[in-house]
Amino acid sequence: MIASPPRTIRIGSRKSQLALVQTHWVQEHLQKAFPDRAFEVHTMSTHGDKILDVALAKIGDKGLFTKELEVGMLQGEIDFAVHSLKDLPTHLPEGLVLGCVTEREDPADALVVHAAHQDKQIDTLPKGAVIGTSSLRRLAQLRHHYPHLTFKDIRGNLNTRLGKLDAGEYDGIILAVAGLQRLGMGDRIHQALPPEVSLHAVGQGALGIECRAEDSEILSLLKALEHPPTACCCYAERAFLRELEGGCQVPIGVNTSLQGDTLTLTGIVASLDGQTLVKDTLTGTSDQSEQLGIDLAHRLKQQGAQKILDEIFAQIQRH
């Protein structure tokens, strides 16, 4: 009796250039690890990809870049989806799990400047210089440190944003170091912002692969891509965010380091105007990573983060 060939694995991805680069990286590494298997990429447009003329914070859906892919998994159209982990909500739909976290690229935020400012750093840009960002997290922290700068929303894929910058609509824009590097545009990074200036987004720089909770075959294949030190840091960060109930619309930043068995997590909650920042650091052991995130969230809430969050949620509901 001839055994039937193993099933073809269908990988879900957004259609953006960066999403496809990341998904093809996953496909290539799985193909190398399992040469006898077939892996196909299936693309979908998400809600966040279609609405490009509205600030992300105003759309207000936490599953902005993931929902359609999740429906595809639950309906059996795809077997797993590749996300930038920072886009993946901390509460997943019933039946889906975070099956794998890949090794993290540099999670820092990057300043990319117009040609006229090549001799400047973020702290030496002239008063009124226009900085583009679509992230409230970046906006709040940069407003806090550089109140003399002007901030303007920017949407679109990486090439669109860089085109707007080069055309002179902005003096500088803030992007993720990892995204620029993955697209082979690392030479556009003018300055990687230090954590003292901008704590990065939860999960930034890592890929998160989401799959069906009951699909043991897929879960076992994904183990080949799992990077335990990155997973440990990201689970702490995601627990911190989940406990604070934050999504795209809330200025929450983190920085994590793992030395041996010692995990250190720094977190921040900022008001939208950048006037108030609540920030603290906790250290624990790597086997208690999620608890560390929860404990840090509680500590920040006691220090005033809850008041900031309540005000932001009230503001969002009014709009």
**What average pLDDT does the segment 92-119 reach?**
97
Q: Which of 36, 53, 61, 87 is catalytic?
A: 87
Q: 209 by DSSP, 3-state: which?
A: strand
pLDDT tens by residue, 104-115 = 999 999 999 999
Look over the chain and give the mean of its residue pLDDT values, rounded to a whole number: 91
Q: What is the largest distance, in Å, between two alpha-carbon atoms of the chain?
A: 77
> Can you give the pLDDT at residue 284?
97
Mean pLDDT for the stretch of residues 218-236: 98
Tell me the pLDDT band of 319, cut-offs 50, 70 and 90.
low
pTM of this structure = 0.90
What number is the average pLDDT over the span 186-193? 97
Annotation says 79 is catalytic: no
Q: Write the class of the CATH domain 109-192.
A: alpha beta
1-102+206-226 has which fold?
Answer: D-Maltodextrin-Binding Protein; domain 2 (3.40.190)
Which range, of 88-102, 137-151, 244-258, averages the lowest pLDDT? 244-258
Domain borders along the chain are 1-102+206-226, 109-192, 227-319
- Please tell me if the domain spanning 109-192 has the same topology as the one spanning 227-319: no
Residue 201 has pLDDT above 70, yes or no: yes
Q: Are residues 113 and 172 in contact, defined by beta-carbon separation less than 8 angstroms?
A: yes
Residue with tokens 């073809």: 8
Class of the CATH domain delimited by 227-319: alpha beta
